[in-house]
Amino acid sequence: MSFADAHAFAFSLAATLMVSIVIFRAGDGTMGVMPACEYDGENDTIVDELDPFAP
């Protein structure tokens, strides 16, 4: 998934679920998206985090 696709998907998830969403780079170089509370990977693989409550 490209960064643009991951960002659009993350924004949609954050707005729908009303939880913080993390965009991360997987070991093979692809992007992944998941709720921040479920992410247990390395912090240096996080590319962006979307918080629906941030101003």
- Report pLDDT digits (tens) over 39-50: 998 999 999 999
Question: How many CA atoms lie less than 13 Å away from 3 in the CB half-sphere?
Answer: 6
Domain borders along the chain are 3-50
Q: CA nearest 38: which of 14, 22, 54, 18?
A: 22
Residue segments in the chain with a per-residue pLDDT below the cut of 50: none
Structure confidence at residue 1 (pLDDT): 86
What pLDDT, on the 0 to 100 scale, is given for residue 23? 97
Q: Is the pTM of this model over 0.85?
A: yes
Name the residue type at position 43.
N
